[in-house]
């Protein structure tokens, strides 16, 4: 006999229907108006002096070279300060959430290059990552993070995102993992723990840096009590920038990394 509480649960389940988003099939979920995705720099020579834009960046992610203005997404906090002060509107942030790259230098955008906004994202799969096409287990390591990147990683385990349907899961032990996903700038008191976790993962293994702190040190760059990101001590196979990166950015990067997109 079905009890009344159980009937209530079944009614609620029928009313809620299927809540997991169809992504990557179909359109991606709607992003809020204030979302700041991939930066776009005007390829045309700017008639204004870039000094005000460059000085507005709190982490020196914006800089000028002979070929023009450059923006390093690996350091960028996506605060939008440079776009706000740019007198000519040469800097803007698009809605493109596809930010992940397998090489660090691919995170640097040049104004001399035409924007690839709207074009297919380049493949990220490597010989190692393709081994985990159907099943990728990751040990998440918070190496001194503020918990923002960690929170957005945790969102991927919720009903709406359900990262597990792609065979990607976070595990409790590095010995059960195929790699580590690192957030935070790698503080001195977490350096040894991170190295031990990496050694405990059986080969072949991958390292994924999520967030500007894990990539470059973020707002803590060059502070003596941190290591300016994961690359200073471990080889990184995938960089996912943002401060913090949107859950969609993290999921899209992981799926492209294992060849699912």
Question: Angle, nearest 10°, between helix axes 148-155 and 247-257?
Answer: 70
Residue 114, pLDDT > 70, answer no
55: tokens are 């000085």
β-strand pairing of 136-142 with 179-183:
parallel
User: What is the chain's mean pLDDT, rounded?
Assistant: 89
Q: What is the pLDDT of residues 121-142, one digit of tens each?
A: 888 988 899 899 889 999 999 9
pLDDT value of position 168: 96
Structure tokens at 260: 């699912």
3-state DSSP call for residue 212?
helix
Q: What is the rounded CA–CA span in Å between residue 54 and residue 63?
A: 6
pTM for the whole structure: 0.90
Domains of the chain, CATH where assigned: 129-257 (3.40.50.12280)
C-alpha span between 85 and 105 (Å, rounded):
26
Lowest-pLDDT range of 55-69, 74-88, 111-125? 111-125
| pLDDT (0 to 100) of residue 116 | 59
Query: Residue 123 burial (CB < 10 Å; 0-12/13-18/19+)?
Result: exposed
| Count of C-beta atoms within a 10 Å radius of residue 240 | 31
Q: What is the pLDDT of residue 47?
A: 64
Residue pair 222/180 in contact (Cβ under 8 Å)? The answer is no
Residue 35 gets which letter from DSSP?
-
Q: Are 238 and 210 in contact (CB under 8 A)?
A: no
Compute the average pLDDT of residues 168-179.
96
Give dist(CA 219, CA 212) in Å, integer. Answer: 8
């Amino acid at each position: 006999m079905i009890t009344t509480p159980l009937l209530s649960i079944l009614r609620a389940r029928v009313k809620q229907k299927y809540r997991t988003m169809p992504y990557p099939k179909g359109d991606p979920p709607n992003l809020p108006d204030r979302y700041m995705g991939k930066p776009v720099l005007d390829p045309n020579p700017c008639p204004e002096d870039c000094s005000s834009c460059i000085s507005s960046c709190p982490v020196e992610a914006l800089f000028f070279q002979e070929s023009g203005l450059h923006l390093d997404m690996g350091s960028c906090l996506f605060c939008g300060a440079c776009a706000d002060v740019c007198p000519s509107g040469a800097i803007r942030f698009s809605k493109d959430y596809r930010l992940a790259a397998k090489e660090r230098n691919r995170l640097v955008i040049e104004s001399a290059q035409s924007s690839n906004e709207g074009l297919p994202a380049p493949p990220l799969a490597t010989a190692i990552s393709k081994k985990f096409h159907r099943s990728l287990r990751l040990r998440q390591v918070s190496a001194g993070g503020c918990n923002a990147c960690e929170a957005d990683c945790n969102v991927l385990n919720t009903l709406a995102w359900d990262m597990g349907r792609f065979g990607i899961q976070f595990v409790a032990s590095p010995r059960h993992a195929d790699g580590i996903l690192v957030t935070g700038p790698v503080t001195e008191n977490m350096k040894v723990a991170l190295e031990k976790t990496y050694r405990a993962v059986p080969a072949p293994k991958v390292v994924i840096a999520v967030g500007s702190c894990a990539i470059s040190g973020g707002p803590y760059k060059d502070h003596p009590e941190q290591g300016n990101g994961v690359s200073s001590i471990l080889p990184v196979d995938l960089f996912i920038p943002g401060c913090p990166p949107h859950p969609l950015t993290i999921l899209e990067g992981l799926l492209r990394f294992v060849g699912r997109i």
